[in-house]
Amino acid sequence: MSGITLLQHGLTGISLGGAYALIAIGYTMVYGILRLINFAHGDIFMMAGYFMIFAVASMPWYLAIPLVMFLTVLLGVTIERVAYKPLRSAPRMSIMISAIGVSYLLQNLATYLFTALPRGYPEIPFLKKSFHVGELSASLVTLITPFLTILLTFLLMSLINHTKLGMAMRAVSKDYETSQLMGIKINRVISATFAIGSLLAFVGSVLYFTDRMTVFPFSGTLPGLKCFVAAVLGGIGSIPGAVIGGFILGIGETALVALGYSTFSDAFTFAILIVMLLFRPTGLFGEKVTDKV
């Protein structure tokens, strides 16, 4: 494989990895606090894409972005309140089934409202600027994605480590009942977690869909699952871990396709999951106390 092709693949890989990382953070945060695999997270990401399509149709993009951001966060928090809160004291299985149910509902809702045909994602002007360096081609969004991811992760870690809310989040993820006893408003913390997760999903969706250019109702399912694997890979509950996991998966998947094994790209993701669970269930960065959410 020529150097240029390798570089091109590398760009694709880290861009994909960045998008995965942003979504994986959402999974890991929710799991850290609620011990819940939020199957619906991938679909929130998909709905954010649709919201954007409709928002941009009626208003300029710089107004649309904050609106959609707000809507996505609202969606995430509402789902938590309606579908997860009543089941907090129920056995773990029930809440996971509820998550699957919400995911199913969102997909069917999207199919009903927007039809199964793909819709074009609006082009945010400066993001789609193409760069050609010799044989290498990329659009601005491909290049920005990894940097934006790392920046956001950094911001998030500061939030976790240096603010009161962050401290509350860490406390709740460490010990749910005791935190309640110590006066931490659990509902607020959980809502805040979902809000942050949805926010990141929104950013991820902007980056991902601008690159992919169309949205359809099932755009969120497979990335959702893969991002959960990324979160496990990095160590569930650890944000930097989720980011690293996302990048590893994105690059690994691209590498597989580059080598001609595209048939197994999905299988590869799950194989990694199983290997991780077998040999290092806490993930690459699990057990790092200070960074856990």
Total residues contacting other proteins (rule CB under 8 A)? 76
Count of residues in the chain: 293
The residues near 100 (Cβ < 8 Å, ≥ 6 apart) are 39
Q: How far is the CB of 188 from other proteins (least distance, A)?
A: 22
CA atoms of 143 and 140, how far apart (whole Å):
5
Q: Does 9 bind other proteins (CB under 8 A)?
A: yes
Cβ contact 141:211 at 8 Å: yes
Which range touches other proteins (CB under 8 A), out of 31-39, 155-163, 173-181, 197-205? 31-39
Q: Which of residues 160-219 bind other proteins (CB under 8 A)?
A: 211-214, 216, 218-219
Binding map of other proteins across residues 143-162, x = CB under 8 A, - = no contact: --------------------
The residues near 110 (Cβ < 8 Å, ≥ 6 apart) are 43, 46, 47, 50, 217
Angle (nearest 5°) at CA 43 between 37 and 47: 145
Candidate residues 59, 66, 70, 120; the one interacting with other proteins per rule CB under 8 A: 120
Cβ distance to other proteins smaller for residue 144 or 157? 144
Q: What does the DSSP 8-state code read for residue 121? A: P
Q: How far is the CB of 105 from other proteins (least distance, A)?
A: 4
Phi, psi for residue 122 in degrees, rounded to 5: -65, 150
Q: How far is the CB of 159 from other proteins (least distance, A)?
A: 26
Cβ distance to other proteins smaller for residue 91 or 183? 91
In the three-class reduction of DSSP (H, G, I as helix; E, B as strand; rest coil), residue 187 is classed as helix
Candidate residues 135, 167, 187, 280; the one interacting with other proteins per rule CB under 8 A: 135
Q: Which of residues 63-82 bind other proteins (CB under 8 A)?
A: 82
Q: How far is the CB of 269 from other proteins (least distance, A)?
A: 8
Query: Which residues is 136 bridged to in the sheet?
Result: 133
Candidate residues 57, 93, 181, 289; the one interacting with other proteins per rule CB under 8 A: 93
Q: Which of residues 252-291 bind other proteins (CB under 8 A)?
A: 253-254, 257-258, 260, 262-267, 269-271, 273-274, 277-278, 281
In the three-class reduction of DSSP (H, G, I as helix; E, B as strand; rest coil), residue 283 is classed as coil
Q: Which of residues 224-253 bind other proteins (CB under 8 A)?
A: 225, 228-229, 232, 253
CB-facing half-sphere around the CA of 47: CA atoms within 13 A: 27
| Cα distance from N-terminal residue to C-terminal residue, the chain | 41
Q: How far is the CB of 255 from other proteins (least distance, A)?
A: 8
Q: How far is the CB of 141 from other proteins (least distance, A)?
A: 10
Candidate residues 67, 81, 118, 124; the one interacting with other proteins per rule CB under 8 A: 118
Q: How far is the CB of 164 from other proteins (least distance, A)?
A: 30
CA atoms of 243 and 17, how far apart (whole Å):
8
Cβ contact 17:252 at 8 Å: no
